[in-house]
Homo-oligomer: A and B are copies of this chain.
């Protein structure tokens, strides 16, 4: 992609409305623009990151056996009256009346609708276990939206819903999502720690939050360092029996501020392993049994021929919020440092002299060869000065910067910089391609 034909409106100054670093950097790097309080447009560079995050989330959901569908953003109020949540949800629910005076709402979550879909079609235990997920825009009318996409009102969420014939099977479904989440966040380069959590308005008796550690995180967290250092299980596991993997983790102390108990922390954790850190919630999973299936009459016939309410869980990932969380966890004074797996482009090719034919030819050759090797390339072909180009490249955080100027062209070399470390090497284009492929 040629930068001169792209739309990347970076800002020189830090907008005054942004209080936290991820919000500041998302505005400065031209990732998003606020359209109303807590409502953002995703500019091209931000959208690319959002899509990469979404793709990782989707792939890991599918690997864990979940099937994707897509529910609409608007829902009937009557559906929420069935579960009893319409009145209980409070002012965070955006209530809407259409031209025929029918009551709608902008979905903040989808337990009711998915239960309605399930009960319409599934009648027998033979179709279970089933896990349905979607990745859709949601709306929560936060009283005080802030921190950019971290606490926006219109936000993109992945929510999955599991259906099982009994509690034992439902706990297996819960474990599958537990492991899928560990793998999902690890692929994004994040340290995400599962912590026992309150179930809040979703309900149920078993719940974990997944918290990304970041110095600038919103809440204090306390956990055993071994939990942070434990690698993700990966996809090569027995998806029908994950209890040992889950137990290994939940046996280690981990708690957010609200759930923290110093005495328990100290009794369960070796002194050198006690980590007090800050974190950001990026996922939340719930097992709530028959909380929705009973009032909504979502029954399935069991192997014994008798109808019984289906056992359910729900599993959320804050897809748009993850952009903020990743930036909070990965930035420096010069800007964003995207982990390779979610970067909007893999390489930025920086042309140091756009009025020099040989330099342009060398850049175009480099772009072509990089793209041919499967890399996503942003080509800075603008007439900005070198200093401005380097600053932009650092700000937008592309993992690799490949710089070509007249001196390099004369010597047959390019400069390759790794954004994360600042390490620079001068080498041939062939060698640079090899380095990138490695």
Q: How many copies of this chain does the complex contain?
A: 2
The reply to whether the CB of A9 lies closer than 8 angstroms to some CB of chain B is yes
* CB neighbours of A143 from chain B (8 A): 99
Contact call A33/B117, Cβ cutoff below 8 A: yes
Those of A392-411 within 8 Å (CB) of chain B:
none
Q: Is A102 an interface residue (CB 8 A)?
A: yes
| Chain B residues whose CB sits within 8 angstroms of the CB of A185 once the complex forms | none
What residue in chain B is nearest A156 (Cβ atoms)?
B70
Assess whether A263 is interfacial by the CB under 8 Å rule: no
Q: Is the CB of B70 within 8 A of A73?
A: no
A39-47, A173-181, A368-376 - interface stretch: A39-47
Chain B residues in 8 Å Cβ range of A44: 67-69, 132
- Let me know if B47 and A69 touch, CB within 8 A: yes
State the main secondary structure of chain A at its contact with B: mixed
Q: Is A256 an interface residue (CB 8 A)?
A: no
A69, B7: Cβ atoms closer than 8 Å: yes
Q: CB of A276 within 8 A of chain B?
A: no
Chain A 36-79, CB within 8 Å of chain B: the 1/0 string?
A: 11011111100100100000000000000101111111111000
Q: What are 28 sample pairs from A and B whose C-beta atoms fall under 8 A apart?
A: A6-B67, A7-B67, A9-B121, A35-B75, A35-B76, A35-B113, A35-B116, A36-B75, A36-B102, A36-B104, A37-B102, A39-B72, A41-B69, A41-B72, A41-B117, A43-B117, A44-B68, A44-B69, A44-B132, A47-B70, A72-B154, A73-B73, A74-B106, A74-B154, A94-B96, A94-B98, A94-B99, A99-B143
